Amino acid sequence: MKRIILILTLFLFLINGYAYAATKISKQDLTVPAADGFSIRAVLEYPKIKGQKEYSTVVLLHSLGYSSQWWETLPADLMNQGYAVLRIDLRGHGRSIYNSKLIRTSWKSMTNNAFEKYPDDVVKVIEYIKKENSKLSFFNNWAIVGADIGGSSAILASDKLAVKPKTIVLLSPVVETKGLYIPVSLAHLDNVDIFSISGTGDSSSVEAEVYLKKFAQAAFVTYTSEARSTGMLLLKNDSSLAKIIATWINQYLK
């Protein structure tokens, strides 16, 4: 049913998506200290609308080995719908490469103990934004999109937060990666619908979807992209995917 609604509402998305296209975008470049002092970098952007104090927000968590710069047109598509967009560089990626001693640290040299801090890092950034933006609200109505390890971090972080996202979008999901095991946390998300996307021929993600669906407490809808890619490369190789994701999110945040 959700898949049918997704297709039917895509046309409305294309019509309504121009409402905020010409609106000035406010940008916050964030440096958030993690619990262990690692510097987590993030960017929060949202259309500056006079008198608006509360924004629906979409958090974007990238793939292993990539950064927050690889989201193609998705951030713009979301902001054109009036959403705030938070792009986080996971530790060891992008600009999040300095530990508490200001030593450069790449994901390539990190142990599973470091990767297991990803969910707490995400929670820390969200809490920081809440604290530093006392006049604006961003996380009363929100969603999260994650690609492979970003998707795992999305599930685990959502389990830790008091206000859950309305929906989670997974690109190329995995059951466990770098010590991040997600089925138990997924089972805790009672009212959070999942939209899982895999590429054509990506048998590993399809197998993960079948397994994870057993733990989902709400809807777990799957979609197969025509792109023969994984993770964030799905967005690069399937130009329709960003609008499909934004249309799915519209069902929950509008």
How many distinct structural domains can be found in the chain?
A: 1
**pLDDT of the residue at 19:** 57
**pLDDT of the residue at 15:** 45
Asked if residues 153 and 68 have their Cβ atoms less than 8 Å apart, the reply is no
* Each residue's pLDDT expressed in tens, for the chain with a length of 254 residues: 545 455 444 444 444 554 566 579 999 999 999 999 999 999 999 999 888 999 999 999 999 999 999 999 999 999 999 999 999 999 999 999 999 999 999 999 999 999 999 999 999 999 999 999 988 999 999 999 999 999 999 999 999 999 999 999 999 999 999 999 999 999 999 999 999 999 999 999 999 999 999 999 999 999 999 999 999 999 999 999 999 999 999 999 98
CATH of the domain at 144: 3.40.50.1820
**pLDDT of the residue at 16:** 53
Boundaries of domain holding 226: 2-253
**pLDDT of the residue at 50:** 86
pTM for this one? 0.92
Please report how the helices 118-132 and 149-160 are oriented relative to each other, as an axis angle in degrees rounded to 10: 60
**Cα 101 versus chain centre, distance:** 29
